[in-house]
Amino acid sequence: MEMEIFADTTAFASVVTVIMNLAAEDERIVEYLRVISTGDRTDTGELIEIEITELLAEKVDATVLLDNLKLKVWDKVAKLNWRPFEEARDFARSLGTNQEGWYDIISNGGLPADIPRAPFSVYKEKGWINWRDWTGRNKLSYDDAREFSRSLNLKTSIDWREYCKANKLPPGMPSRPDRLYKDNGWNGWTDWLAYEKQERWRPFEEARDFARSLGFMKESEWKSYCFSGKRPPDIPAHPWRAYKDKGWISIPDWLGTFEGEKPDWRPFEEARKYARSLGIEKQTDWFKFGKMKQLPADIPVTAERVYKSEWISWPDWLGTFEGEKPDWRPFEDARAFAHQLDINTQVEWYTYWETAQRPKDIPYNPQKNYKDIGWKSWKDWLGTEPLIFNSAREFVRHLGLKSTYDWKKYCASGNRPRNIPACPWNFYKGRGWIGMKDWLGN
């Protein structure tokens, strides 16, 4: 019988079971098979000899076992008799590889049977530390690693990470020392890079004056600026941390959207009169004007927020209407106009409204202009609010559809009104839904 075929038989499995049981009682059997598999010798230079024929006489011919089954048996026995951690680690280190190379060796079948593929699992709580220790590529001591990092004359953790991306670190030098040395010496980036934090940042008042000089209106603009590489090294990217308990108030204070405490804004009517006097026609131009620091201190850049209760629209604020505010189209007529635009969201509505195609008697903020005289919601205004079940079912039954297939084909045609849901079984569940036959009127 061919060896490979026999190795898959019940007889072979019985042999393996017996040897496993014997190996549990006699370590010499494990050592014997290990030596056979590697071709090594014992410390005395002799191959191990065991009276294995007597032990297995009842199960298998000893000569056949020794000649043909030694390695096959070892493959099975080894997985229950991993090498001790120290020996296994010595073998791993002898390969001169790293974690990635370790997995390459596994994929190529290069590991002995008694060396686990996942040592972190097998030797957990039995000596395992990390991959660097396992492969012999140990980390540098904290003091040695810090000496190297300080020689680079870097100033920030961002500088360090950029350096790590652009350069190959020396062996054992971690790219994330804050993690590796967390419990072994780590004392912050100032210690790692050898700069004094208190001498790094400008005094709060000076730093805030600089930030305000940039004319930013939003925190997102400040963050974009910090990532641009233009920020001076003595201006912190995270001022709320750097100046905590040292003068920090808020982002609006930092950017100068108001000086210190929120000022007493000019009354809405007076502020709007001033805004209209500037001759600015677009909202974007208004914000650009605000960035140039040309607004009086009591005129807010974000007027729509400050005057929320009185606010109507940007055209109203800037005075881009012809004369007085126009007479708006009656609500029902205006909503019918909005329905035929095929607009689905509030953002799309505002985008459309700023185009030249928009009628002058259709308001920018219909939720304000038609409040208490018909306004319900944006879905109702845009025609995306599904009809109540009975109205929707009545509409569908007039289509003359006969099956679920017909319904899905109709939905895919593009002819389905937006206020009729494509999946009525989901939308009307618990609100009247019975089944497709009822929905189609069959």
For 284, the token pair is 């974007």
Residue % of the chain over a pLDDT of 70: 71
**Pseudo-torsion of CA 187, 192, 195, 201, nearest 10°?**
-70
The residues near 226 (Cβ < 8 Å, ≥ 6 apart) are 237
Q: Is the pLDDT of residue 138 over 70?
A: no
Residue closest to 146 by CA, chosen among 178, 115, 124, 117: 178
Burial 268-287 (b: 16+ CB within 10 A, else e): beebbeebeeeebeebeebe
pLDDT of res. 163: 82
Mean pLDDT along residues 186-193: 81
Give residue 299's pLDDT.
Answer: 82
Q: Quick check: 149 pLDDT over 60?
A: yes
Sequence letter at residue 190: T
More confident residue, 90 or 170: 90
Report d(CA 217, CA 237) in Å as an integer. 16
Residue 6, judged by CB atoms within 10 A of its CB (0-12, 13-18, 19+), counts as middle
How many C-beta neighbours within 10 Å does residue 140 have?
19
Q: pLDDT for 3-20, tens place per residue?
A: 444 445 555 565 666 565
pTM: 0.29
**Looking at residue 244, what is its pLDDT?**
81
Q: Report pLDDT for 438.
A: 92
For residue 290, CA distances in Å to 110, 264, 316 come to 69, 18, 18
Tell me the range of 64-73, 92-101, 324-333 where mean pLDDT is highest: 324-333
- Of the segments 320-334, 360-374, 394-408, which one has the largest average pLDDT value? 394-408
Q: How far apart (Å, rounded) are the C-alpha atoms in residues 232 and 245?
A: 22
Higher pLDDT, 266 or 65: 266
Pick the range with the lowest mean pLDDT from 9-13, 143-147, 433-437.
9-13
* CA distance to 32, 286, 338, 376, 410, per residue, from 379 (Å): 80, 30, 11, 8, 23
**Per-residue pLDDT at 219 exceeds 70:** yes
Q: What does the domain layout of the chain look like in residue ranges? A: 3-78, 85-135, 142-198, 201-255, 268-318, 331-382, 389-440
Average pLDDT of the chain to the nearest whole number: 74
Mean pLDDT over residues 195-216, rounded? 73
The pLDDT score that the predictor gives to residue 28 is: 65
323: Cβ contacts below 8 Å, ≥ 6 apart: none
Q: Which residue has the higher pLDDT, 375 or 384?
A: 375
pLDDT tens across 20-67, in order?
555 555 566 666 666 655 555 555 444 444 454 454 445 445 555 454
pLDDT of residue 4: 46
Torsion-angle region of residue 406: left (phi > 0), alpha (psi -120 to 50) or beta? alpha
Catalogue the long-range contacts made by 376-385 (C-beta closer than 8 Å, 24 or more residues apart): 378/345, 378/346, 378/349, 380/335, 381/335, 381/338, 381/349, 382/338, 382/339, 382/341, 382/343, 382/344, 382/345, 382/349, 383/335, 383/338, 383/339, 383/417, 383/418, 383/419, 384/344, 384/418, 384/419, 385/419
Q: How many residues does the chain have?
A: 442
The residue type of 302 is: T
Q: Which of 417, 324, 337, 322 is nearest to 370 (CA)?
A: 337
**In this predicted structure, what is the pLDDT of residue 260?**
45
Residue, of 154 and 259, whose pLDDT is higher: 154
- Residues in CB range of 427: below 8 A, 6 or more apart: 386, 421
Higher pLDDT, 84 or 41: 84
Lowest-confidence range among 45-49, 142-146, 325-329, 366-370? 45-49
More confident residue, 318 or 320: 318
pLDDT value for 159 = 82
- Ranges 26-35, 85-94, 232-241, 429-438, most confident: 429-438
If you average pLDDT over residues 365-393, what whole number do you get? 84
